[in-house]
Structure 1
């Protein structure tokens, strides 16, 4: 099997989880990967601002030239692969994969719908229609489409082409936290949020909840990581609130350790259409890092991890504040940690990849 594309597993670990899960099932996976070098936010910005597209096209063509050469060498050494997995954000790469491997089962990891993501970030009109057309082209080029939730599978033009595979978390996130966190001796409840501050994440809801919890007397040590369109609003809400530390960026290899040094990891809290359809990476990563995870009570999150996380109503800052105040109680925190620990093995790569392995077997691709 080939893992193919311009993906960046360090920035976007979803494809790394799939590859590790496939290998854990005894499947040989050869990676043909030429990372494009753009973050998710940069790719979306390029697609929303057409005058920037030449930058994307030139870099994409350079990566594709390398992939074509890699493909020729791989075919000579190993023959035609039974299946080709196109990594996350592979809307363009899947077209090349279809051309290079017309007789293989092409699998598209369609974690993000371009049109849906652009809408969530405020785009409208022609740009959204063009991006929705790109989604349809990408899906049409694939034989099997991997989505992260049933809600996303139902968005496919042909849902039967889809298979739901939870995002999970790489084993690199299973790191021990600090001794004070592990023993519950921290003087304040340590809380971390990391993300791109997009509308679906609900950063203003988080900020209001932290402010109100501290006002109510909760002792919190809060770390906010990332940058994006709702960061200014979150900073405005939390201005003057003690115990809050801001980081615009943390290197991907350092992020698991930073998260593991906190007792609570925050998920997403908006009630936008996209926010109600996803289970974000940070929910799985927070669980893997040994944190108690607090996130919004939505159907996909309840199905995926509902027994192992603390759920609060979407877009309800008061409920989130109450949850943080409750977790300041040692007994409540200890019980939540037990629930979280029970879910860690369910999000390992080998486990989350099982539906994909079964689907590939059904198609005779292995």
Structure 2
């Protein structure tokens, strides 16, 4: 089975496709990459939706990337045509080029987040707004081009149109091997006071960073808990304002992707998502899988997909509840032995179910 990983994806910002590629190779498929990163993350794309005069920037970048993708595809075609083409995450436009360049291949679209979902979560349009209708059209056109649609949870699968659902497959996000290597080393370190927790994200409404910040405000007098917040994004300034009274909060602009596994593995707790927007109730984020693989306690919101996938290997709190999040961190600080047990349980859960090979195997089963 020869699969081409294709598109303008960026594994540094969105590591999902890296997990799928690594997993497909572990399952025995030959995977080659034809990739020209667009250089615009989700926040930048949202900014374009908010300020449509920036749209020419997206078009120009996309055309420049597509010319490189087309040229690389023509060169590779001399050797062997692929059996399937995997269009990486945020590939709503790339999937059209993939279909054009590979008309006889099976097109796999990694559709973790819909464009309409992003527009709704970030309040870019009303329920009947022009922007929302445009996003729904972009989703529909992209899904129509794909032979197989990949989603990360059963809840995301249920949200697909019925005809698309029949040709979809669920592949959890998982984590790459580097995270498991970091976790194996991290578990040699016992959990000791003070408790160290980390959040890594783009501060989107799904992440619920203001909820974390409110919890940090509640914990302002607790010297046993130290928290590092990594990243920037839509709700960053609000989170900093809300947590300003806590002197044991550190703010880091970003950590390079190659350094992130060892960085997160240096903490006792990995904070997940706590938002209340619809998307937050349908997903299990990268940071939950990565934190578990890195040997950290995963503390995240109690939603159906997270409860099902993480089972007893996490501390779950009600979405949007700063009080419950603060109480969960206090509980771990009070009982380092329980924190250690949860760290080990999280790692074992990830090792059993969320390695790249385990994550990607349903794709090959679907391809037959």
TM-score, structure 1 as length reference: 0.94
Match of 1:354 in 2: 361
Q: Is the 8 A contact 1:178 1:261 kept in 2?
A: no
The SS at the match of 2:166 is helix
Q: Does 1:164 align with 2:170?
A: yes
Match of 1:76 in 2: 78
Deviation at 1:29, TM superposition (A): 0.9
Q: Provide the C-alpha distance between the structure 1 equivalents of 2:100 and 2:186, rounded to a whole number of angstroms.
A: 54
Match of 1:222 in 2: 227
Q: Provide the C-alpha distance between the structure 1 equivalents of 2:72 and 2:241, rounded to a whole number of angstroms.
A: 49
Match of 2:143 in 1: 139
1:312-331 aligned within 5 A:
312-328=317-333, 329-331=335-337
The SS at the match of 2:280 is coil
1:96-107 aligned within 5 A:
96-107=97-108
2:212 to 206, 211, 214: 206
Q: Provide the C-alpha distance between the structure 2 equivalents of 1:197 and 1:337, rounded to a whole number of angstroms.
A: 25
In structure 2, do the counterparts of structure 1 residues 19 and 160 end up closer, same or farther at CA, with 3 Å as the change threshold? same
The SS at the match of 2:276 is coil
Deviation at 1:154, TM superposition (A): 1.7
Match of 2:86 in 1: 85
Please, which runs of 5 or more residues in structure 1 have no aligned partner?
362-366
Match of 1:192 in 2: 198
Q: Is the 8 A contact 1:165 1:355 kept in 2?
A: yes
Deviation at 1:244, TM superposition (A): 0.8
Deviation at 1:46, TM superposition (A): 2.2
Match of 1:364 in 2: none
Aligned length in residues: 359
Q: Provide the C-alpha distance between the structure 2 equivalents of 1:303 and 1:57, rounded to a whole number of angstroms.
A: 40
Deviation at 1:77, TM superposition (A): 0.8
Match of 2:282 in 1: 277
Q: Is the 8 A contact 1:181 1:261 kept in 2?
A: no
Q: Provide the C-alpha distance between the structure 1 equivalents of 2:323 and 2:13, rounded to a whole number of angstroms.
A: 33
TM-score, structure 2 as length reference: 0.93
1:295 to 278, 296, 300: 300
Q: Provide the C-alpha distance between the structure 2 equivalents of 1:189 and 1:179, rounded to a whole number of angstroms.
A: 18
Q: Is the 8 A contact 2:220 2:248 kept in 1?
A: no
Match of 1:335 in 2: 341
Q: Is the 8 A contact 1:17 1:168 kept in 2?
A: yes
The SS at the match of 2:149 is strand
Q: Is the 8 A contact 1:175 1:260 kept in 2?
A: no
Deviation at 1:13, TM superposition (A): 0.8
Q: Is the 8 A contact 2:192 2:336 kept in 1?
A: no
Q: Is the 8 A contact 1:180 1:186 kept in 2?
A: no
Deviation at 1:184, TM superposition (A): 2.8
Match of 2:20 in 1: 18
The SS at the match of 1:201 is coil
Q: Is the 8 A contact 2:186 2:295 kept in 1?
A: no
In structure 2, do the counterparts of structure 1 residues 235 and 250 end up closer, same or farther at CA, with 3 Å as the change threshold? same
Match of 1:56 in 2: 58
Q: Deviations over 1:9-51 (max 9, x none)?
A: 2221111111111000110111111111112211232234321
The SS at the match of 2:9 is coil
Q: Is the 8 A contact 2:186 2:265 kept in 1?
A: no
Deviation at 1:68, TM superposition (A): 1.2
1:261 to 251, 262, 266: 266
In structure 2, do the counterparts of structure 1 residues 108 and 92 end up closer, same or farther at CA, with 3 Å as the change threshold? same
How well do the aligned residues superpose, as a CA RMSD in angstroms? 1.8
